[in-house]
Amino acid sequence: FELLREFRSRKLGIPILHDDQEGTAAAVLAALSNGLRCSGKTIEDSTIVVSGLGAGGMSTARILVAAGAGTVLVADSEGAIHTGRSDLSEDAAWVAENTNPDGRTDDVRGLLAGADAFVGLSAPGIISADDVRAMAADPVVLAMAWPEPEISITEAADVAAVYGSGRPEDPNQITSSLAYPGIWKGVLSCRAQRIDQQMVLAASRAIASSCGTAMCSDYVVPSVLSDELVDRVADAVRTTAEQTGSARAMVAV
């Protein structure tokens, strides 16, 4: 976080990306958008619990706020992130100020009660099938701890409407590689001066739309091997760079 902030503050005039931050965030937002649609819900009206405040968790919290998510609740190993905590880094303090509007102090399992979606970027086995049962109807569970998820597909099968993980053998493999190859192709093709939140949001929308009419509970993100994915993401990112003035070269389509 500190390195990215320092590089970007110097306005070097080149795009800078940390794939486990922006790449993961774009992939997670795409999976959540489609997963909640499968459950008849929207990001804007949903309560989403994020477990873990490392690189991926931090950027996921930021992109959910930018995307207008209804209520975002974030927890680390000490429990919910809230403004009353005195042990927060500068980045975690931003999360506290911009999420958890009711100041909840539960641990991650307590936060899940009544939530519409869970995003795990933390540690294996930290939630159970009973925790998922306590969520709202038809919950979305994205358990991406590696190599073992926060809850296995076997445990979640009968209680989650949509399940995703980082594992390639499970449906809905959610990984930063869904996003960053296309992001790089897009910014390099137009010689963009930076990679900003609007480009990451555009990449996420492109990932989500790549599922097309085949989108279903077992297909809320495309395969990383999709023939169309990289170009679709690149086109969206390049167009956004041109619209925001970051592009230094217009590309004929």
In tens, the pLDDT along 161-180 reads: 999 999 999 999 999 999 99
Pairing of strands 79-80, 140-143: unpaired
Residues 223, 74: Cα–Cα separation, whole Å: 28
Crossing angle of helices 24-38/197-209, nearest 10°? 40
Percent of the chain with pLDDT over 70: 98
| Residue 213 structure tokens | 């009419």
For residue 11, is pLDDT > 80?
no
The token duo for 81 is 């992130």
Position of tokens 């990112």?
A: 237
pLDDT tens-place string over residues 52-104: 999 999 999 999 999 999 999 999 999 999 999 999 999 999 999 999 999 99
Give the pair of three-digit tokens for residue 240: 């956004």
Position 252 scores a pLDDT of 55
**Per-residue pLDDT reduced to its tens digit, 91-124:** 999 999 999 999 999 999 999 999 999 999 999 9
Q: The pTM is what?
A: 0.95
Residues across the chain: 253
Q: What is the pLDDT at residue 98? A: 98
> Which amino acid, residue 48?
I
Q: Cβ(118)–Cβ(143) under 8 Å?
A: yes
Collapse the DSSP code of 239 into the 3-class scheme (helix H, G, I; strand E, B; otherwise coil) and give the result: helix
> Model confidence at 251, in pLDDT bands (50, 70, 90)?
low
Span 195-221, average pLDDT: 97
